[in-house]
Amino acid sequence: MKENSTKKEFLVPSDLSEVQRVSSEALSFLKPLGLRQAVLFDIRLCLDEALINAMKYGHQFKRELTVRLSIEYDQNEVRVLVEDQGEGFDPKKIKNCTEGENVLRGHGRGLHLIHQLMDEVKHNPKGNAVLMVKSLKESLL
Amino acid sequence: MQVKAIQIEEVTIFLVDGEINISTSPDLRKLFEKQAAKKVVVNLEKVIYIDSSGLATLVEMLKKMKSQGGSLGLSGMSEKVKSLFEITKLDKLFSISQSQDEAVTRVK
């Protein structure tokens, strides 16, 4: 990310009612970019999924524990970082929701969607933070 | 999210309007749990957003319908919503039709 990027941070209580409010604020923050609806859909979905995972698996929905959301953009990309205060997890141990009987499971699709819809996804070694990057090439109006 | 149920012959159609997200999918799940029809179409034409909890709710509905010998079809989804079904391979699991009429014919 270049020095001339624009950045905003949120500390989000681990409460599902906060998800819509925060993702709506985050999308408003991206408005100056004039992104296509389909791109905004992808960013919102990945942001929502990462926030929900952090609240649910990282914090067991303990409202007092906050998830740190950082959203940053320049003319090339949008970077979204979601970090919780939990123990972390190993993303390699998550079953692929598109294989065999996993397709029928009631959960496990959020992370898969993130990896498919973003251009770059990185987990920190502890597994309590995910960085999601959307390239803006071909994403403008 | 709002859901309206209509009946066309023996097929119950749920017309879903709005977002199927982590906050609204429990309501949809409750509605599906209560319904007893054997042939169901969920019309997603007016669904502007769906997340993994919404997809999971539809999978649960499908499993319930199949276990009871019923059939479930989805119709009218936008290109964006349809792409999520493709990414998660759920397009192989569901009967997906472009129009509600086509979906009704397929579940009969």
Q: Quick check: A97 and B23 CB within 8 A?
A: no
What confidence tens digit (pLDDT) does each residue in A20-31 have?
Answer: 999 999 999 999
Per-residue confidence (pLDDT) for residue A140, from 0 to 100: 57
Residue A4: strand, helix, or coil: coil
**B58 and chain A in contact, CB less than 8 A:** no
Residue B55 belongs to what domain range? 2-107
Q: Report chain B's mean pLDDT, rounded to a whole number.
A: 95
Amino acid at residue number B61: M
Q: From the CA of B9, how many Å to the nearest CA of chain A?
A: 30
Distance (Å, whole) CA A13 – CA A4: 30
pLDDT band at residue B18 using 50, 70 and 90 as cut-offs: very high
Question: Positive or negative CA dihedral for B3, B7, B8, B10?
Answer: positive
Count of alpha carbons within 13 angstroms of residue B59, beta-carbon side:
23
* Chain A contact set for B51 (CB, 8 A): 45, 48-49, 52, 110
Kindly compute the dihedral angle of the four CA atoms of residues A86, A87, A93, A98, in this order, to the nearest 10 degrees.
Answer: 0
Q: Which fold has domain A6-135?
A: Heat Shock Protein 90 (3.30.565)
* Overall number of domains in chain B: 1
Which parts of chain A register pLDDT below 50? none
What confidence tens digit (pLDDT) does each residue in B29-82 have?
Answer: 999 888 889 999 999 999 999 999 999 999 999 999 999 999 999 999 999 999
Sketch the domain layout of chain A as residue ranges.
6-135
What pTM was estimated for this model as a whole? 0.93
Q: Strand runs (DSSP E) across chain B, as ranges?
A: 2-8, 11-20, 39-50, 71-75, 95-97
Per-residue confidence (pLDDT) for residue A2, from 0 to 100: 60
What's the CATH number where B89 sits? 3.30.750.24
